[in-house]
Structure 1
Amino acid sequence: MNKILATLLFFGLLGFSFFGVALIAQAITPSLSIQNSGGGDSVQVNVSGDAYANVVLYYQSYNYGSQSRSIGTTGPSGHLSTSLSSSFLGVNTGSSVYVVVNGQTSPSVIWPGSSNCFGNNCSGGTITLSQTGINLGINQSRTVSISGGSQPYSLYPSLLGVFQASIGGNTLTIWGQSSGSGSVQICSSGVNAGGSGCATIYVTVDGFNNNASIYLSPSNLNLNVGSNATISISGGNFGYSGNYYISSNSNQNIASTSINGSTINVYGQNSGTTSITVCQSNGGQCTSATITVNSGGFNNYVPTAVTFSQSSLNINSGESRVISIYGGSSSSYNLAYNSNPNALQATVSGSTLSITGRFGVAGVIVVCSTSDSCGAVTVLVNGNNNNNFPPNSGNWTFCVVENQTCYFSGSRQVRYGANNSYFYRTFTGSVFCSNGVFGDPIFGVFKKCEISY
């Protein structure tokens, strides 16, 4: 009997040992908490996760966008407690932050404002916003001016995921992320959310690029009595391509007008001047054109519309295209409008237009000649990879994980990221693999560096 009990006890302890090893080997999801500590902009950061593991903080900087920084190592119990300065990090107060411990990502929390005063019974002066309510589309941005109070300002969004907000100096920038609505409190330095030194802006995001400008080419038209001419329409809400209409004609006895798609047909009836207003259905903007009808003897030159070798592009994130520009009243062109400069990079050089897609978005680029003649290119960027140029055909070899230095001989192309989302750059000898060097190609994911041979 004693032998049987001893045997059972041996195998029980052996099984428990294997089970315990499995538990130890499995990385746990870390937790993160942040609160003000003492005075000024000091905050206390508390992390729980795997023992003896490096802790990397991911945050939004008001100077450099998405950033990451190692803030220490957990102890034998898996805990780390440290004090950090908001101004030293340049972190946006009120923005979402998280940590990565041993390859595991914590839930996001809000970075608090400064604690120069207690509760809500303090005031840093009255803050005024240039707008108290905005509507924007997904992947569209708006800027709002902040005045009064004292800097640096803090922001406190009511929710995450619908929009992203950041403050740079006295400018608040808001990006639409998904359909929904919420609000952001902007507070003076040292004032907590809800204090008397705060102002609120209400934000609504829908699935379309709302309130995009409409352009008419030409916007000043001259023609003779009894003659016909056309005006081209471009721009407006990308989600509702077309749907233009004439909302008013100040004097229909001077010129009659009708719309066919994106073209306004004009007929001169009597000498004089009239003004027409053109709008787009579904909440689009309006714009106007002046039409002058001459009694006869000559017909003033009507500028031709600007055209392109491609008027519609479908590209991938990180991809660039160069298209040719034609028409207009001269060979000199300028970039008049970009519906989403954060997602689309566009430049005009001579008679060529260069467009690079930074991340998945739909947008409109308008180019005009120097004599008031314009044309538009619609752009659809696929994906959200934000690659700055495509990989070459070489083999990629793992070098180091995020926040470590990758060493190599000579000049090498290095890519930084994860899950098929990478930034690519060329270095000689070595590179420190971090968001600060490459940017953040995939937010919230632990990344690595690979070398191409």
Structure 2
Amino acid sequence: MKNLVKTFVLSAIVALTAFSFGPAAKAYSPFLSASRSGDGIYLSVSGGAPSTHFVIYYTVSGSSIAQALDFPNFRTDYNGNFSSTISGAGQAFGIGTQLYAQFSNSDRTPTVYLDSGSSCGYYGCSVGQISFSENNLFMNTGQSRQVTIYNSYNYGSNSYYIQNISNNNVINATLAGYANILNLEAKSSGTASVTVCQYNYSGNCGTLYVTVNQTVGSWSLSQTSITVGPGQSASLTANFPYIFSGSLYEGSNSNPSVATVGFSGSTIYVYGHNSGNANISICYSGSCNNLYVTVSGSSGSLSLSQSSVTLNQGQNTIITIYDSSSYSSALYVSNNTSSSVVIPTLSGHSLNLYGNAAGYSTVTVCRNSPYACVNVYVTVNSGSFSQTVYFLTNSLSRITLGQYYSFQLQASGGTPPYTYSLVDGQLPSGLSLSSSGQIFGTVQNPVNVNFTVRVTDYYGRSAQASFAISSDNVLGASSYANGTLLNENGTIYIVYKNTKTGFVSAAAFLGLGFKFENAISVVSGIPYSGYSVTTANAAHPWGSWIKSGQTVYFVHELGLIPITDWNTFLNNGGNGSLVVPANSYDFQLPILSVMVANDARLR
């Protein structure tokens, strides 16, 4: 500020309230720009009243007090313009300083932000960003939607205006008064963008992208009648000749004690309860189709070799579960009223019960298809029981190359908790063993290994078991998950349904968002698809996992399959590191029904 004092009179800087101005004359729209010039500040005023004096008001970053800078030469010329450099002012006007010019005729300029040179509103400088509850929207003609506007900058008035609609023939957009709700009405098929800005902050805007599909015909069910057994479930699909973007719901059910339905996207799940018939109305946006459900067959029952068990603390016993039905549905432990008292472990039709602490518990074992349950009542006494530790697990489940693997080792005897450790051999590259006995990770290459695991109980008693992983229990020694990137002798491929599609150039590969570090170097032996990726200016190749907003899609040969949750993504071989941003070409493809667990369309 020292140089500033040398050049100008220090007393020219006065308080904001020390000025009053006369009545306004002819209205002008002056504009101020400010930028750094060496150790000074270059000021330029245009569009002001001719030969009119003005004062510069400035607020430094971190302060709410505006100060005034007034010099005799602060006066526009005959054309209403002014420009000058204030030497030595660069240090006083720190980073983040805001400025505006107040004229003696009551005109003033918008505020400017010194270090960005950007224009701001009359209430300050906006550094926020407008976004929407949905940034990429898919609609059918005639459909209406509401989108919420979010604003990360909350200074000043939170009212908005529509700056631009790129195609008024496709979409009509209105704001609900001054609220943060944007109303959209799909008029005809095509694409359009809607830009919304904040009043007084023309630089604070956001753009919403809309795709409208032509509504043709009516929707239907993949089948109008279905038969299930008691306790069984089945599924069918709602078929739409246009983009499905709403929700299915049950309109009526003539006999809910016989069967009920549930929904996931365009998939309908039918649950059989008791023998009989039910007529269920399935609806979408007021239009309904009827589904006739027949539930037949005997549910059978479950029974036990012992319905009540008494154990000492540290003791275990095994009881047998008998199934009188003709079904072969797997059993599972549905409930344990006191998990600290007894630890149940189920293997086929054998239920192992371990007395962990004194008390009482009821263990419930169930069967899903058809549904049935049975209870065993357990009493654990406080007396100790010496027992050796042993493994319940004698082999591992199958592993699939390129897919995430998780398997829990099981032990019994002794006193839990158990601790597991690797004592001989090694796990395949990509797999790890946790202290709780979980083997997890992803195997990328064919393996043939042997290893030994030790389990140790609370008192240090232990047991060991040896396991082998070879081509006999590894699925797809030459099989890879969809979306896997392969580097074979310098050529990059992407896997789709166990075939590979090559990229002809690094530009095509990188331009679509893929990364070289995610490609695994192998000689896969899987067949070539016959297709090549030649450019990044196209939709992503089949097998890609792409993301738009918060939604991940799988690129299928028939279109895009949306994925509603992370578990479904992992269940179908998804790998988070292989997800890449979607582009505009992707959304020229049809949107298919949502992905389900073990989705057959990916095989």
- State the TM-score, normalizing by the size of structure 2: 0.22
Larger radius of gyration: 2
**Structure of greater relative contact order (alpha carbons < 8 Å, 6+ residues apart):** 1
